[in-house]
């Protein structure tokens, strides 16, 4: 079991004569912590479906463990939903495809899995073709970019651009090139979620999102100013100096160095509280499939952006969940951080639920505070994330636009409203 057993509710408890609104609220919060989170999975998925998904994402996979875990599955619809929520259907499909021939699974489940994989493969082909088109347009305009995550991470971590799920294409570029790149995407048929006026005014969204109407193709532009979940600003020029290329379908695609990509995926997982198993699987695959990673470089680069603990937590999650040994160059550092096991235990309490047991606001804030490591950096990190407005805080639709100060002060209230429900 990855989660500690939750106490069983008594059949009844003393009735309250008359309780104030505040008292009722706190009683609700207390009892809601005892109830298992609401999710679309089977009631006992932690004992049956979850172990199989862990085995499917482990590095390397153990055929005997995989067969034993598959034999314990009771609800294959729940298994499919669980894998889908964790972005791990490609992992599950690959694992079951390589399982011993004696493994017996329902035909309907296997057919659904194959169909989803077929759709994902077609999606990957469409996205990579569009990626090549946009990269050519940006190259003609001498705009230097790097592709991050998506098909290049799938290729780098698993050796196959269709081996992991993604929903958009992410490009990293210098902030000085954002406006020009936005104009190129719009001329290429994309619609911008961020208004042109906001881009010209220098407002910084969480990402510059562009969608091509009538398709599922989405591009996100990132710069050194949108990567706000890095505790310190990214050294964008160093990233471009260290960039490399990956061969993707006959094209040389510009990408981050493997070390910088590893830091990025560790910070990305922390940004999302490690609520999806696919992000931990990415870390595990990078460690196993890239023994040449320069851990001294990773340590120094992580230190430059204040992400040392994020790296340690990522490695410890891969070790405890997916049986991937912490690299020898990192063992002392991981073992020496007493906060890492505590953070991993917290993550394991909500991870299996795939986003249906997101931590409430106070726990989210405390998690953010501890992730950079040092208290001073953590306090600054939490303050910045709490007060830096994104497009969700902007007042573009208001008749009287609010000032940036008002948007900053309003952001904590929006976040409190969004995460006020412990199960939200």
**CATH number, domain at 266?**
3.30.460.40
Are both 242 and 385 inside the same structural domain?
Answer: no
> How many residues does this entry show for the chain?
424
Residue after which a domain boundary falls, among 105, 128, 161: 105
Residue that terminates a domain, selected from 322, 342, 364: 364
Q: Which two tokens stand for residue 152?
A: 């290049």
Domain assignment present for residue 284? The answer is: yes
Among 359, 306, 356, residue whose Cα is nearest residue 86: 356
Residues with Cβ < 8 Å from 253, sequence gap 6 or more? 131, 135, 147, 152, 245, 246, 247
Structure tokens at 234: 């990214």
* Mean pLDDT score, 155-177: 96
User: According to the model, what pLDDT value does residue 356 have?
Assistant: 93
Across the range 218-235, mean pLDDT stands at 95
Identify the weakest region by mean pLDDT among 45-59, 360-374, 381-395. Answer: 381-395
- For residue 4, what pLDDT band results from cuts at 50, 70 and 90? very low
In a domain, 14, yes or no: no
Which of 389 and 227 is assigned the larger pLDDT? 227
> Tens of pLDDT along 139-149?
999 999 999 99
Question: Could you tell me how far CA 99 lies from the centroid of its own chain?
Answer: 28
Token digits of residue 138: 């940006």
Domain endpoint, select from 314, 331, 364? 364
What is the pLDDT at residue 412?
73
How many C-beta neighbours within 10 Å does residue 213 have?
8
Q: Are residues 199 and 286 in the same domain?
A: yes
Handedness of CA 136, 181, 236, 124 (dihedral sign): negative
What's 202's DSSP letter?
A: T
Residues 84 and 148 in one domain: no
Please check the confidence at residue 318 and state whether its pLDDT lies above 80: yes
State whether residue 300 is helix, strand or coil. helix
| Residue 263 shares a structural domain with residue 385 | no
Which has the minimum average pLDDT: 13-22, 189-198, 278-287? Answer: 13-22
Q: What is the pLDDT of residues 44-90, one digit of tens each?
A: 999 999 999 999 999 888 988 999 999 999 999 999 999 999 999 99
**Residue 112 lies inside a defined structural domain of this protein:** no
Q: Is residue 169 part of a domain?
A: yes
- On the question of pLDDT at 407 being above 90, the answer is no
Q: Specify whether 315 is located in the same domain as 380.
A: no
- How many domains is the chain built from? 3
Q: Are residues 161 and 77 in the same domain?
A: no
The model's confidence at residue 3, banded by pLDDT at 50, 70 and 90, is very low
**Looking at the structure, do residues 225 and 125 belong to the same domain, yes or no?**
yes
**pLDDT(27) > 50:** no
Full residue range of the structural domain in which residue 74 is found: 41-105
35 assigned to some structural domain: no
| Within a domain: 339 | yes
């Amino acid at each position: 079991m990855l989660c500690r057993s939750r106490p069983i509710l008594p059949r009844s408890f003393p009735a309250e004569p008359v309780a104030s609104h505040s008292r009722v609220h706190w009683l609700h919060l207390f009892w809601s912590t005892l109830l298992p989170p609401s999710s679309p999975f089977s009631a006992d998925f932690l004992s049956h479906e979850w172990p199989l998904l862990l085995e499917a994402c482990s590095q390397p996979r153990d055929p005997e463990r995989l067969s034993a875990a598959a034999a314990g599955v009771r609800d294959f619809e729940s298994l499919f939903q669980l894998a889908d929520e964790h972005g791990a259907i490609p992992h599950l499909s690959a694992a079951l495809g390589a399982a011993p021939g004696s493994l017996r699974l329902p035909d309907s489940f296997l057919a659904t899995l194959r169909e989803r994989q077929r759709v994902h493969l077609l999606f990957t082909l469409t996205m990579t073709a569009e990626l090549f088109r946009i990269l050519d347009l940006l190259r003609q305009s001498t705009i230097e970019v790097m592709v991050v995550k998506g098909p290049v991470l799938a290729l780098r971590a698993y050796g196959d651009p269709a081996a992991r799920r993604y929903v958009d294409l992410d490009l990293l570029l210098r902030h000085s090139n954002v406006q020009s790149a936005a104009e190129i995407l719009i001329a290429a048929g994309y619609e911008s979620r961020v208004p042109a006026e906001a881009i010209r005014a220098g407002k910084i969204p969480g990402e510059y999102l562009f969608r091509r109407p009538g398709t599922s193709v989405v591009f996100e532009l990132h710069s050194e100013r949108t990567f706000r979940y890095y505790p310190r600003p990214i050294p964008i020029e160093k990233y471009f100096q260290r960039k490399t290329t990956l061969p993707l379908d006959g094209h040389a695609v510009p990408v981050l160095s493997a070390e910088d990509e590893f830091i990025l995926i560790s910070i990305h997982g922390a940004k999302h509280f490690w609520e999806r198993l696919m992000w931990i699987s990415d870390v595990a695959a990078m460690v196993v499939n890239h023994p040449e990673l320069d851990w001294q470089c990773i340590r120094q680069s992580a230190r430059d952006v204040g992400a040392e603990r994020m790296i340690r937590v990522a490695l410890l999650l891969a070790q405890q969940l997916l049986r991937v040994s912490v690299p020898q160059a990192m063992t002392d550092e991981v073992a020496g951080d007493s906060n890492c096991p505590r953070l991993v235990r917290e993550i394991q309490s909500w991870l299996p639920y795939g986003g249906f047991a997101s931590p409430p606001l106070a726990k989210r804030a405390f998690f953010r505070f501890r992730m950079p490591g040092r208290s001073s950096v953590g306090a600054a990190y939490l303050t910045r994330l709490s007060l830096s407005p994104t497009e969700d805080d902007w007042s573009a639709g208001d008749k009287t636009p609010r000032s940036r100060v008002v948007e900053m002060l309003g952001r904590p209230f929006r976040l409190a409203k969004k995460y006020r429900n412990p199960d939200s």
